[in-house]
Amino acid sequence: MTKTNSEVTLSDESIMTKILLIRNKRIMIDKDLAELYCVPTKRLNEQVKRNIKRFPDDFMFQLTESEKEEVVAKCDHLKNLKFSSNLPYAFTEHGAVMLASILNSDRAIAVNIQIVRIFTRMREMILTNKDILLKLEQMEKRVSGHDEQIALVFEYLKQLLDSPQEPRVQIGFARHK
């Protein structure tokens, strides 16, 4: 049984590792998207240039030289970009969706659906984690002044333990023999 292009066998983790944070945006590099869509990067970028009106700045932007160096340093799978004279393009979630519409292959559509689902899940996780972080911050504010108070309690306990104690006189009833 042969697989069709629409049967995508990519793990969510393999896609998630290709999502990077640059300019405070979650993006995917053109090379990674081309690999996922099974097209050469050059062809992907040609299609983008033919349809440039579909890619405003919030959908796609070109990395600067310093951003390219940062990406190469952080991501082992992008080390070949180091030797490229071209600056890579970065696509936001919306840019990746638009790419699927201009590539218009079964594989591109299937991969794109998976990418959108992952971006959505990541957004949900961020919102969930934001609530947890807010609660932790509130707890930290409540407990922050307690360090000095706890240290003071230990200091008093230490003084009590270190002070010489006089023998105590027993009190109570004594039995006569």
pLDDT digits (tens, 9 = 90+) for 102-147: 887 788 778 878 888 888 888 788 777 777 778 877 777 777 667 7
Q: What is the pLDDT of residue 55?
A: 92
The terminus-to-terminus CA distance of the chain in angstroms comes to 104
Q: What is the pLDDT of residue 177?
A: 66
Of the candidates 61, 116, 66, the one whose C-alpha atom is nearest the C-alpha of residue 90 is 61
Cα(38)–Cα(111) distance, rounded to whole angstroms?
Answer: 10
Taking 60 as the threshold, does the pLDDT of residue 99 lie above it?
A: yes
Residues belonging to the chain: 177
Q: What is the pLDDT of residue 2?
A: 39
89 band by pLDDT with thresholds 50, 70 and 90:
very high
What are the two backbone dihedrals, phi and then psi, of residue 6, each rounded to the nearest 5 degrees?
A: -75, -15
Cα(152)–Cα(55) distance, rounded to whole angstroms?
Answer: 62
- Of 80-84, 110-114, 146-150, least confident by mean pLDDT is 146-150
* Model confidence pLDDT, tens digit, residues 46-70: 999 999 999 999 999 999 998 988 8
Of the candidates 40, 144, 19, the one whose C-alpha atom is nearest the C-alpha of residue 93 is 19
If one compares 75 and 167, the residue with the highest pLDDT of the two is: 75
Model confidence, pTM: 0.62
Cα(104)–Cα(89) distance, rounded to whole angstroms?
Answer: 20
Instruction: Measure the CA dihedral 58/61/63/67, to 10°.
Output: 0
Cβ atoms within 10 Å, residue 6: 13
What are the two backbone dihedrals, phi and then psi, of residue 158, each rounded to the nearest 5 degrees?
A: -65, -45
